[in-house]
Amino acid sequence: MTKPAVLVTRKIDEKGLTLLKETVELQVWQEDLPPNKAHLLELVRGKAGILCLLSDPIDKEVIQSAGPELKVISTYAVGFDNIDVQEATRRGIVVGNTPGILTDATADFAWALLMAAARRIAEGERQVHSGSWKTWGPQTLLGPDFAGSTLGIIGFGRIGQAMAKRASGFDMRVLFYSPNRQPLKGINALKVETLDELLRESDFISLHVPLTEKTRHMLTRIFWQR
């Protein structure tokens, strides 16, 4: 019996490829950079499955190019805004992702960026490497304190909740705005009813919502309206 053909759009961990090889015929894109659109349209033809990354636009054109054999699209990520889910659903194609796998890693990066911005680490690093830093001074690269300040979290899913837990270790007051979420036992965070209230009360803002037409540029729209 012929194995179904599957395209993997980048070299992933060998353990994953080994699992796939047991049941499917693999074609793996070997370059570090993603295939361009023309290559992708060619690569997907006749494939029963596509394992892609966030940098691969699996849009209507790509899905159509794959043909009727395509049954599954999986993304090597939590987010799936690179996939035309509506078109896949219309064609009866199953779409999969990896929820929960990167929650802590993503929250760690978000927290690291928050600390770097507050403590002006990138500015200090640039001064050192450019040779412009001379010595410490009382007003040199001062940043706001975390202790006693307020963190506003927009979106209170897995990653937003993980950010709230990290903030509690720094004695921060945590607010969150997420219309469909309620406060959770064990997480010290207060829900606010409006985004304006969150922005008004917060010293720091951390954004953790999926990218949709509704959320795209959401903060830009709010600030332009003011």
Query: Along the chain (226 residues), what's the average pLDDT of each consecutive run of 10 residues?
Result: 92 92 94 95 97 96 97 93 95 94 93 95 93 88 91 95 95 93 87 93 94 85 71
Residues 73, 114 share a domain: no
Per-residue model confidence (pLDDT) at position 127: 92
Residues 154, 86 share a domain: no
Domain termination residue (choose one: 62, 96, 130): 96
Per-residue model confidence (pLDDT) at position 90: 96
Amino acid sitting at position 86: Q
Q: Is the pTM of this model over 0.85?
A: no
Residues 91, 53 share a domain: yes
Per-residue model confidence (pLDDT) at position 34: 94
CA 116 – CA 111 distance, rounded (Å)? 8
Per-residue model confidence (pLDDT) at position 212: 81
Residues 155, 57 share a domain: no
Residues 191, 80 share a domain: no
Per-residue model confidence (pLDDT) at position 225: 67
CA 43 – CA 5 distance, rounded (Å)? 11
In a domain, 128, yes or no: no
Q: How far is CA 4 from CA 14, 40, 151, 226, in A?
A: 19, 18, 49, 55
CA 87 – CA 60 distance, rounded (Å)? 6
Tell which phi-psi region holds residue 170, choosing left (phi > 0), alpha (psi between -120 and 50) or beta.
alpha
Q: How many CB atoms lie within 10 A of CB 107?
A: 21
Provide the CA 115 distance to its chain's centre, in angstroms: 19
Range of the domain at 41: 5-96
In a domain, 31, yes or no: yes
Residue 10 token pair: 């980048």
Residues 170, 90 share a domain: no
Residues 200, 112 share a domain: yes
Q: What is the CATH number of the domain that holds 41?
A: 3.40.50.720
In 11-63 the beta strands, taken as DSSP E runs, fall at 25-28, 49-52
For residues 120 and 137, the answer to whether their CB atoms sit within 8 Å is no
SS3 172: coil
Residues 59, 170 share a domain: no
Q: How many CB atoms lie within 10 A of CB 160?
A: 25
Q: How many domains does the chain have?
A: 2
Residues 110, 207 share a domain: yes
